[in-house]
Structure 1
Amino acid sequence: MKRRDFIKVTGLGAASAAAIAAPAIAQSMPELKWRMPTSWPKSLDTLYGGAEIMAKVVGEATDNKFQIQPFAAGEIVPGLQVVDAVQNGTVEIGHTASYYYFGKDPTFTFGSSVPFGPNMRINQAWYMLGGGREILNEFYKKYNVVSLLAGNTGCQMGGWFRKELTSVNDLKGLKFRIGGFAGRVLQKLGAVPQQIAGGDIYPALEKGTIDAAEWVGPYDDEKLGFVKVAPHYYYPGWWEGGPMLLAFVNQDRWNALPKHYQKVLEQAGHYANNWMMAKYDQGNPPALRRLLAAGAKLHAFSPEIMQACLKAARELHNEVSATNPDFKKTYESLSAFAGNGYSWFQVAEIGYDAFMARNSQS
């Protein structure tokens, strides 16, 4: 039977066919409204902007059937309690840095950056293609959440200090705002780490509650005004060589999503991730020049300090690995991947970048 005759016999014209297809499409694209608290103030338009971009892409890709509303830190959830809110189902999704929750388990640090871990590209390659996502999401199941890649800042700065560091001894007693697991490394060298949400750092530094603070890099640091109260600006942030930001989704909510929505969320996170990396690469160079003009004094951590911190970090990683199977499994996976990555990077990437930096005209 010809197709035209079949349509006549069965009465299936275009309108009838569309009517049959419509319910199936509607079922696969339910209307959802999710809330996404973040760990970032709105003033940080790259970190908070990553969450906004992710939400925007999800809406556009689903004809606004799937809507996600981002919230700044403290609006509905404190900045350092985003994972808790997602875990217990208070909200469906959150945008944060995994290492903020290392107090629950040190393994959380790998979802952002482990001290003296790999650079941005190697870290993300491990998460995306080196087994990192699978290892981490198996761990995150214990907390009823699943992770999606949703940002990266690139290598960060070492922070703002009231006084210049001349030796390792200057770290003793130093009250230093530093995020995540790296604080435990500095504790080994006598520092007193403080974990403070982004919007609360400047008042603490201004009042002298802390002696130093690290955040991200020039673009964000300029917005937070640290140069006004702590002029010594150090690099590199060895605790964050290439830190990922993740979107955490409640496990039950994730499992209930149509597969199409799961893919939309995943791809929206990747889009936000790429946007954030480009945004920082665009914004950091001119911001650093402005900070130097405003009185910032740029310093590299001395080889003595770097080596002491590296030694303390490796000691700590081994100590935690001895008692924490999840940490050990993740650390071994990342370390093996990073070792291979740097064996390649030193062949071409590092040599080329070093040459171009020496011969840059800007």
Structure 2
Amino acid sequence: MTIRKNITKRDFIKNAGLTTAAAATATVASPYVIRAQGAPIKWRMQTYAGSALGEHVIKPSIEAFNKAANGEMVIELYYADQLVPQGELFRSVQKGTIDAAQSDDDSAAAPVDVKIFAAYFPFASRYSLDVPALWEWWGLRKIWEEAYGEVEGVTWLSTGAWDPCNFGTTKPIKSVADLKGLRVYMFPTGGQFMQQFGVVPVALPYEDVEVAIQTGELDGVCWCGITEMYTVGWADVLKYYLTNNISGAWAGSYFVNTERWNALPPHLQELFKLSIDNSHYYRAHWYWWGEAHYRTTGGKLELTSIPDAEWQTVADAAVKFWDEAAKISPRCAKVVEILRNYNETMAKAGPPYRCA
């Protein structure tokens, strides 16, 4: 039999006070509230993109990372050529001049055989979803990890999709012949491919492109889709937009200095990976919205098209270009085989994957 002790009001208040004090002490000492000790880890990161484009392709994700890091780490973001020239970007990450980079492997001059497939490898994709599907489900992630595992000082983390690659020009293009002689700002591999049609690829610092178009040094760009042309101001100095593209999506990567990466605690590594995924997701819907929006309501660029039958000659030339790329190395041959199998599968699947 349990004997209940009568508790007076004074005893109740006294005991309640002791309990509250003990709980407060336990809360103060509780280990689950962790605050950053000392100065935060600081990284410098440079993107391939200029400031206007960077506002979309990376800034939101870095701001989210800095906020979520809660004082433990801060990433300082720099835009195209602000710290180092684009062509020296990869080497700068390798040397530790900067800690991380967002860029395609091609224009950053990554010392790997597979860099040719980054940015705009001609006719490798038709839609933005092709890129993550190829990397995450068709084996390209494993190949990229293998390739960059042979390079000291840099860790490759992820590849995602950007926009398609179309011509924006000061002269109308209505046939393949109209491409001849055009001086165009392009990525290295895309420019190499289009030279056979008379295009003259021109390399310039990103921020100089608009002025070069105004002065006539450039006849146009084949660097992006219509979303970027409007976002960065190129639509203000160009007149025409060719709806035929040489690739359905740019493939861009994230690189980090290996020593700095390994020095991060696991939770900050995971947080950075999540910020990359956040950036991939933002671009997916932003570009998908923008490509249709600016074609239909932009109002600054006149749309032109090359007939499908004639444009097929350019697509056929890409097949030969793929054959040459496969000769670079056994690894490149494997990538080309994957691209062929992937595109054959998409064609067999039919709409919406591929249309006749």
Rounded to whole Å, the distance in 2 between the matches of 1:196 and 1:331 is 30
User: Do the aligned partners of 2:90 and 2:110 also contact (CA within 8 Å) in 1?
Assistant: no
Please state if 1:272 is matched with 2:264. Answer: no
Rounded to whole Å, the distance in 2 between the matches of 1:215 and 1:155 is 9
Per the normalisation by structure 1, the TM-score is 0.79
Q: How many residues align?
A: 330
Q: SS at the partner of 1:247?
A: strand
The one of 93, 110, 129 aligned to 1:86? 93
User: Do the aligned partners of 1:160 and 1:213 also contact (CA within 8 Å) in 2?
Assistant: yes
CA deviations over 1:201-242 (Å, ceiling 9, x no partner): 11112222122212322332124443444312102322x312
The one of 33, 43, 54 aligned to 2:42? 33
CA deviations over 1:257-284 (Å, ceiling 9, x no partner): 3222222111110111101222223334
Going from structure 1 to structure 2, the CA distance change for 1:275 and 1:100 (only over 3 Å counts) comes to same
Q: Tell me which residue corresponds to 1:309.
A: 314
Alignment of 1:1-362 (within 5 A): 14=26, 18=30, 31-44=40-53, 47-101=54-108, 104=111, 107-118=114-125, 119-143=127-151, 144-149=153-158, 151-156=160-165, 158-238=166-246, 240-291=247-298, 293-294=299-300, 296-303=301-308, 305-344=310-349, 346-350=350-354
Q: Tell me which residue corresponds to 2:9.
A: none
Identity of aligned residues (%): 23
Rounded to whole Å, the distance in 2 between the matches of 1:236 and 1:244 is 18
Per the normalisation by structure 2, the TM-score is 0.81
Going from structure 1 to structure 2, the CA distance change for 1:189 and 1:130 (only over 3 Å counts) comes to same
Q: Which moved more, 1:51-60 or 1:202-211?
A: 51-60
Deviation at 1:26, TM superposition (A): 6.9
Q: SS at the partner of 1:117?
A: coil
CA deviations over 1:105-124 (Å, ceiling 9, x no partner): 56213343421012211221
Rounded to whole Å, the distance in 2 between the matches of 1:210 and 1:348 is 37
Give the structure with the higher percent helix.
1
- Over 4 Å off, 4+ runs: 13-19, 102-106, 347-351
Deviation at 1:104, TM superposition (A): 4.8
User: Do the aligned partners of 1:36 and 1:93 also contact (CA within 8 Å) in 2?
Assistant: yes
Rounded to whole Å, the distance in 1 between the matches of 2:56 and 2:195 is 33
Q: Which structure has the greater CA radius of gyration?
A: 2
Cα RMSD for the two superposed structures: 3.0
Rounded to whole Å, the distance in 2 between the matches of 1:244 and 1:127 is 10
User: Do the aligned partners of 2:96 and 2:257 also contact (CA within 8 Å) in 1?
Assistant: yes
Rounded to whole Å, the distance in 1 between the matches of 2:343 and 2:43 is 36
User: Do the aligned partners of 2:58 and 2:279 also contact (CA within 8 Å) in 1?
Assistant: yes
